[in-house]
Amino acid sequence: MASNATDEIAFDFRPYFILYKDGHVDRLTENDFVPPSLNPEGVSSKDVAIIPELGVSARLFLPKLDAGDPHRKLPILVYFHGGGFCFVSAFCSLVHGYLTSIVTEANVIAVSVDFRRFPEHTLPAAYDDCWAALQWVASHSAGEAEPWLSEHGDFDRITIIGDSAGGNIVHNMAMRAGREELGHGVKLDGAIFGHPYFCGAEAVGDEVKYPEKKAQGDYIWMLTNPTTVGLDDPQINPIAVGGPSLSGLGCARVLLCVAGNDILRDRGLLYYERLRSSGWKGTVELLESEGEEHVFHLYNPTRENARIIMPHIVSFLN
């Protein structure tokens, strides 16, 4: 019996997602939508539309306000989730729990961006959505409608953060912030990279020993961005020859996290070294978690090394 076209697999990336030849996708990790909630005794959350016509939205997190100083201005953290531009969302338990922990520990306002994803939308849709989200955040410095931001946000202390593909988005947003205005005189203060997803045509480090893992990462980039110039596109290989200098990074401070057993570790280290030598005027801190796998701190937040990362994030934000 001939197989139904809707059952023919184009790319099998279990346990995360399966892409079928007709274009639809099974996102295998998204059966755990967590609703937002108001919690006067702790972290409150709510969902807001940013670009309703495109389905771009965000989940906002507000810590318990100090009764003695309820108008105190709090740092703003804008989070871009990972998932290879294909899976994970701002509303899943993984992301919701992680942001709740950061907001609790660091006493910040967080904006977790839900951008358009592949295969319904190819890159640069995710980049455009995240930039629009940053501009939306900046607009609240002029008193726009969302009171959690306009009344409690410190627009001199905006940090962007992301893990894996979200770390790639962090790089691209910081570079764009170096070229373009966010609006209303707002600038990025910091950027936190969690095991950023970068690749390149020439294998480096452990990519030489594990070509199948490199090929998987390469394929995801080529799949999700059909208009790319290739694996040395500066959006995915920030240190590619001929690409823009990292001296143009549009923030003052960077925290770069890598994991010892992550195949992306070596590209993270190269990024760190290139940033330091680029002439960029900011400060950069490197945090390596020895013996750990890619984004282990999300999936195993109680591990000792994960507990070490959190104080670094808290210190960076404050």
Residues belonging to the active site: 164, 262, 294
**φ and ψ of 240, to 5 deg:** -65, 145
Q: Are 264 and 295 in contact (CB under 8 A)?
A: no
End-to-end alpha-carbon separation of the chain, Å?
Answer: 63
Q: CA angle 11-12-14, nearest 5°? A: 150
Among 224, 274, 226, 268, CA closest to 248? 274
Dihedral angle sign, alpha carbons of residues 318, 76, 100, 302: negative
Alpha-carbon gap, residue 209 to 291, rounded angstroms: 17
CB 22 within 8 A of CB 3: no
Which structure tokens are listed for 124? 């640069």
Whether 282 contacts 253, CB under 8 Å: yes
CA 2 to each of CA 5, 7, 8, 20, 21: distance values in angstroms, whole numbers, following the listed order: 9, 10, 10, 16, 15
